[in-house]
Amino acid sequence: MAAPPRLRAAVAGATGYIGIQCVEMLARHPHVELVRLLARTHAGRRFSEVVPGSRVDLQLDPGLDVDGVDLVLAALPHTVAASHARGWMASGAVVVDMSADFRLRDARTWSQWYRLDHPDPELCASAVYALPELPGSSLTDASLLAIPGCYPTAALLACVPALSAGLVEPDLVVDAKSGVSGSGRSPTMGVHFAEVNESVHAYGVDGHRHKAEMLQELRLVAGGEVQLTFVPHLVPMTRGILATAYLRPRPGVTASDIEAAYAEFCDGHPCLRLDPQPPATKSVTATNVAALHAGWQDGRAVITCAIDNLVKGAGGQGLQALNLRFGYPETAGLQLEASWP
């Protein structure tokens, strides 16, 4: 389907951290007109009144009515987008969902991990998992785009190049650390300043729900079974994810083979960068770049990946996916350079 001259876009959940990121990027997108902002909590106020420093002056509307738009970016709690996606698509909109509602193709697996009944299980199989750098990824003509989670984005980019090239055994270990914005904007005890400042802790050690999404995609890439040990950590910073993957090379594979595979992988994708040293999260803050480094220690590949969890891990990846879906330049509206420090 050919793209209209300018897409009319709505953001649902516009005042959460991911929704804010989507609004600000869409407002600067050369091929998008931002026409509807939906936010129940702050309905009736101007976006710029709710988000300090914003120049977006649209009024925030209640409800989830999006008639008359070409595109809906949904940054909503789990199950909310799934309850409305069918109606949005019936009105002619392409849906870009930032929640986990459609990341798993099997609704029964989704229910096992999220401990909820899926509101529209039939739609799960028709959604496209929208990590553009995955081998064979095609977003053309998709009506429902499922944006990967922030942890899976970093973990998959760290593992897929070596796994898809057949260079490593399908037994992977990923250690990942995230800033507190990944928990959302609503205040909870788990992200209270006094609880997280000057402290780091692991969680989801018995199985984080994002693991299901990682395994789904890793098994497709490997063409068979994959074992994954994934442990996330919360660190006292606002933005960023750093994932470190420990991969066991197949016999005869060298450090040079691993580095060459990651160099080739990054060369084909404008939002990837291969660094000569392990990247810092600050080097990608506020950008849609995933920075990778291919290292080696005592016969194992050690791969690091740094992303901004709200951009490449959420809203920016949503824009990257919609650009590909509608035939725009892949990086349209996206920032690719960070300020340092």
Q: Please report the domains of the chain, with CATH numbers, ordered by start residue.
A: 7-126 (3.40.50.720), 151-310 (3.30.360.10)
Instruction: Choose among 82, 250, 96, 100: nearest CA to 163.
Output: 250
Q: Is the dihedral of CA 96, 99, 101, 103 positive or negative?
A: positive
Residues 64-96: pLDDT tens digits? 989 899 999 999 999 999 999 999 999 999 999
Name residue, tokens 């050919």. 2
Q: Identify the pLDDT of residue 294.
A: 98
Q: Provide long-range contacts, Cβ within 8 A and 24+ apart, for 53-57.
A: 54/20, 54/23, 54/24, 55/27, 56/23, 56/24, 56/27
Q: Identify the pLDDT of residue 191.
A: 81
Residue 242, beta-bridge partner list: 177, 306
Average pLDDT, the chain: 95
Which is the catalytic residue, given 22, 150, 266, 271? 150
Residues 193-244: pLDDT tens digits? 888 899 999 999 998 999 999 999 999 999 999 999 999 999 999 999 999 9
Instruction: Choose among 311, 172, 173, 140: nearest CA to 239.
Output: 311
- Tell me if residue 305 is catalytic: no
Query: Given strand 71-74, what is the order of strands in its sheet?
Result: 60-61, 32-38, 7-12, 71-74, 94-97, 144-146, 128-129
Q: How far is Cα 128 from Cα 138, in angstroms, rounded to an integer?
A: 8
Instruction: Choose among 1, 78, 98: nearest CA to 320.
Output: 98
